[in-house]
Structure 1
């Protein structure tokens, strides 16, 4: 399959502070204890489908990403088509994806490309690959395609995709592809419950597959000056003064609101109604605990090199790298993270607030 894979590797993972830090964000960490970082695991599950691999990351993380030795995880042909692009500053997802797509088109012509986050977890890799294959086939028909995640609960931390009843494609064992009606911002809990009761709504995991010519044509129409800047950048050597000036002139837009939402309003976006492949954005301690706790969500998760004792604290997540013994008693859903320079004590219910604390500590750079 000729899928040119783009992996934007950015963002500090602030809601997992102090595990994830500005200088060592979550995509570089083995958060799940699998012997590979989240970035390496992303490459591993995509490599059988990959024609080329482009990783886009911040300049400050270039050395750390290089040390992940990603080309060694690819076959020889794809290894020669590996590229790491360094962003001078954070410009949200549109900057990374549009730059990578324009470079791919300049090198290979119009190709099918897909953007996949570097810091998500997926349990059923086979089902995930079936969904990606369905997305590629649909993208060949000219749509921008996103892979929808069937919601398992009325989550308010994710955006949603509203699908129509129009089946664009259904083939064999691959999940059906539906024409998308609209994208919804993160909802209130009553709205999220209504989405689940109504049906036809999917979590938006930010996975997009597209023909580079189609994506760039939408960009040219919707944001012509942005498009022109990207095309100028492709002709320059990254990191030069002229390149950096152009990059810094780009507004910071997510691809969802800049491209996917307006294109969906005209019927130009499709969504893969994927089977449950065990997706998680591992975005906070609640989701990290869920990914590690197994079938029983009340199981405490206790790890780290330090000695820990946990009693009567169902659903706790403890990661102790300290020298002193840590004892947690009678605190359901406790979260205790001990590092040399900081100890965090909270609960999974308060996990969404940790990003604010991380910002105060200067961990959002």
Structure 2
């Protein structure tokens, strides 16, 4: 599941560029790490990803970067929580892999260390699911966390899992401490495994509106390039409800696999700090940063060099266009400041779009925007080309930084190499392509009376956007 639009890790994560597609540590995004965990073809079929239209090219590009083939990318036409998403995916799986298929449901924004403990838990869950149970994974608590729901375990099952006694909502700190002291409670990880046909049967029993809406949306789905668009009208009738509330808390067949593998839902900057490689002073510093007399802090920069002095227990996070500074132990409340930013026209855009946007041909990073001026860095994947287009209110200057560009201007085709440039007059039909074998990088300087993204007329397009 890769459709969430979380903002709790702002300013890196935003509505149009959420945390699952961001590289927090290492050279893989959380989504890519999730794909890698299910890439063993001896255990898994090619994964099915369910997301929304805004993220479809991000999903396709990040899977392509890893060389991982996807069975399908299902596009949700509206946000309806996890129960409709799981039901739609289960219907797709039964149609394409059979009624006896077992599905593992993974959130794409979790950080998991998939060592032997993880593999052992998967093995127990598979046996339990084949025995007719709807399985969830419970993480053995390491602290009285208040940001997670809990599961109280019951009796043992033959396959190695346990009966779910009850689900517990996110507790306050006193209740969390009491549960840890009592024992028999696990964190609810939001990871599941069950037979596709069985979860649909139980969904039909407990939430028939969701089951029927998902079935109809898959039956009427339309292919769009490499994506599967679920029918908007039918999917829109589904109840907005989680799989926990819809099925897991109601079924008598719920089972839980206690697991001790390292896991985090990456729901706050505090969680990122806990998972990071801390130095001798307890600091996690990523990117351009220098620390002095600073302890137990998270410092991250994607742009300017951060110099931090004399602080303790803080998060300082710099993206290309915004900086967040706050106490680590209060970072669960980042959503409140994001709401405040979103309520003002002057700052609303900072909560929505990231300076880097992805397109089916590659994407661009906004470098500078002023009155009648905009500067971008374009990156075009090998063999890809932008639409044949024109702009009514602006002209463009393109400078080749890396690779070789093929540029069509009117009836003329030009080859633009590194350190060369080309000018596109206002109103002229043009097209940019990358005929090479390496990514093409261009600097685009737009000037004119209006430089908005909607000043574009597409004449022809490989991606059916005309």
Whether TM exceeds 0.5 here: the answer is yes
Q: Does 1:342 align with 2:334?
A: no
How far is 1:109 from its partner? Answer: 2.0
8 Å contact from structure 1 (residues 40, 70) kept in 2 = no
How far is 1:348 from its partner? Answer: 0.7
> In structure 1, the residue corresponding to 2:24 is in which secondary structure?
coil
Separation of aligned partners in 2, 1:44 and 1:94: 24
> In structure 2, the residue corresponding to 1:15 is in which secondary structure?
coil
Q: Does 1:31 align with 2:24?
A: yes
How big is each residue's C-alpha offset from its partner over 1:214-265, in whole Å with a ceiling of 9 and x where there is no partner? 11111111111221121111211248999111122212111111111111xx
How far is 1:71 from its partner? Answer: 8.8
**Higher helix proportion, which one?**
1
Structure 1 equivalent of residue 217 of structure 2: 233
Structure 2 equivalent of residue 127 of structure 1: 117
Separation of aligned partners in 1, 2:161 and 2:15: 38
The 1:73–1:177 alpha-carbon spacing in structure 2 relative to 1, beyond 3 Å, is farther
Separation of aligned partners in 1, 2:22 and 2:114: 20
Q: Does 1:354 align with 2:354?
A: no
Q: Does 1:302 align with 2:302?
A: no
Structure 2 equivalent of residue 98 of structure 1: 87
Moved more, 232-241 or 210-219: 232-241
The 1:364–1:102 alpha-carbon spacing in structure 2 relative to 1, beyond 3 Å, is farther
Q: Give 5+ residue unaligned stretches, structure 2.
A: 343-350, 354-466
> In structure 1, the residue corresponding to 2:104 is in which secondary structure?
strand
Structure 2 equivalent of residue 215 of structure 1: 199
In the TM superposition, 1:258-297 aligns within 5 A as: 258-263=246-251, 266=252, 268-274=253-259, 276-294=260-278
Q: TM-score, normalised by structure 2?
A: 0.69
Structure 1 equivalent of residue 60 of structure 2: 66
Computing the radius of gyration over CA atoms, which structure comes out larger, 1 or 2?
A: 2
Q: Give 5+ residue unaligned stretches, structure 1.
A: 1-7, 171-175
**Higher strand proportion, which one?**
2
Separation of aligned partners in 2, 1:260 and 1:198: 23
The 1:124–1:85 alpha-carbon spacing in structure 2 relative to 1, beyond 3 Å, is closer
Structure 1 equivalent of residue 45 of structure 2: 51
Structure 2 equivalent of residue 155 of structure 1: 145
The 1:359–1:182 alpha-carbon spacing in structure 2 relative to 1, beyond 3 Å, is same
> In structure 1, the residue corresponding to 2:87 is in which secondary structure?
helix
Separation of aligned partners in 2, 1:124 and 1:106: 30
How far is 1:352 from its partner? Answer: 0.7
Structure 2 equivalent of residue 318 of structure 1: 299
How far is 1:195 from its partner? Answer: 1.1
8 Å contact from structure 1 (residues 333, 349) kept in 2 = yes
How many residue pairs were aligned? 338
8 Å contact from structure 1 (residues 12, 364) kept in 2 = no
Separation of aligned partners in 2, 1:277 and 1:225: 36
Separation of aligned partners in 2, 1:65 and 1:86: 11
In the TM superposition, 1:184-263 aligns within 5 A as: 184-238=168-222, 243-263=231-251
> In structure 1, the residue corresponding to 2:45 is in which secondary structure?
strand
Separation of aligned partners in 1, 2:313 and 2:142: 20
How big is each residue's C-alpha offset from its partner over 1:151-180, in whole Å with a ceiling of 9 and x where there is no partner? 00000000001111x21134xxxxx31111
The 1:124–1:216 alpha-carbon spacing in structure 2 relative to 1, beyond 3 Å, is closer
How far is 1:277 from its partner? Answer: 1.2
How far is 1:330 from its partner? Answer: 2.0
Separation of aligned partners in 2, 1:309 and 1:242: 48
Structure 2 equivalent of residue 3 of structure 1: none
Residue number among 2, 8, 13 corresponding to 1:15 in the alignment: 8
